[in-house]
Amino acid sequence: MLQRLESLQVALDDDLANAEGQTDGLMSFSLPVPHGQRGERFGMVMMTRVVDGAEVFVHASDIQLLDDEAVSCIIAWQPTVVLASGPPLYLPSLSKRQRKTALRNAVRLAHKVDTLILDHHLLRSDGGLRWLDKIAATTGNRVVCAADFMGRRRTMLEAWRQRLYAEMPVPKGWHAAYARGEVDTVHYRDGFIRLEDW
């Protein structure tokens, strides 16, 4: 994280003041909240609140809905739209208790906002879509993934990662060549047309 901060400071030619717990005009920033469950080794993240007229958007990616206090903070901000990562259901280490906590917090949040967008960790498995649709059906409120929100087709690239690598293998050294600007992604983007059949 420090390397990213230093890179941003160099690129922006600015020291970048600490925004945690601060408000600056139409934007507010939370104090650090857990990246998942409180007390685990995954560090902390910061949530952002943006006001645009009567709309209040909260970006809470990576909270995974596993911390009650983080969800309470979101609710206190009175958002109309929330974008958050759901729980990583694909991980066998996610306990039954954690799954129940995430479900409870998702339902709690869905009842308090006009639109709840759940994505990222949640959609790394096809089961995440079923979980998302269950929350929407349970609450009767607008609970969607990012693709739904944008009016796009659900394309589960992370959930389909193994199949994608099998059907569109990446040659050894490709990532480094891409970083050097020696190759591009055109071949892979063209291959995504076949995803319609999946």
**pLDDT tens digits for range 112-147:** 999 999 999 999 998 999 999 999 998 888 999 999
- pLDDT bracket for residue 159 (50, 70, 90): confident
What is the arithmetic mean of pLDDT over 107-115? Answer: 96
**Which residue, chain included where needed, has tokens 């055109």?**
186
- pLDDT bracket for residue 198 (50, 70, 90): low
Q: How far apart are CA 79 and CA 73, in angstroms?
A: 10
Q: How far apart are CA 159 and CA 164, in angstroms?
A: 9
Q: Please tell me which residue, 188 or 46, carries the higher pLDDT value.
A: 46
**Which residue, chain included where needed, has tokens 């759940």?**
118
Q: How far apart are CA 112 and CA 197, in angstroms?
A: 37
The conformation of residue 63, written as its DSSP 8-state character, comes to: -
Candidate from 12-16, 22-26, 44-48, 107-111 with smallest mean pLDDT: 12-16
Q: Please tell me which residue, 74 or 31, carries the higher pLDDT value.
A: 74
Assigned token pair, 37: 């469950």
Mean pLDDT of the chain: 89
Query: What is the structure's pLDDT at 140?
Result: 84
Query: What is the structure's pLDDT at 6?
Result: 85
Q: Please tell me which residue, 11 or 78, carries the higher pLDDT value.
A: 78
Helix/strand/coil for 93: coil
Q: Please tell me which residue, 186 or 51, carries the higher pLDDT value.
A: 51
pLDDT of 20 strictly over 70: yes
Q: Tell whether the torsion through CA atoms of 43, 71, 82 and 20 is positive or negative.
A: negative
Assigned token pair, 100: 């129940």
Where does 83-153 have alpha helices with state H? 96-110, 126-139, 146-149
pLDDT of 98 strictly over 90: yes
Q: Helices 68-76 and 96-110 sit at what angle, rounded to 10 degrees?
A: 10
pLDDT of 197 strictly over 80: no
71, 83 contact by CB (below 8 A): no
Query: What is the structure's pLDDT at 85?
Result: 92
Query: What is the structure's pLDDT at 151?
Result: 94
Candidate from 34-38, 121-125, 182-186 with smallest mean pLDDT: 34-38
Q: Measure the CA angle with vertex 157, ends 63 and 126; round to 5°.
A: 70
Q: Please tell me which residue, 148 or 39, carries the higher pLDDT value.
A: 148
In the chain, DSSP assigns E strands to 23-24, 27-29, 33-34, 44-45, 48-52, 55-60, 81-85, 115-119, 142-144
Measured from the Cβ of residue 68, the count of other Cβ atoms closer than 10 Å reads 13
What is the arithmetic mean of pLDDT over 33-48? Answer: 81
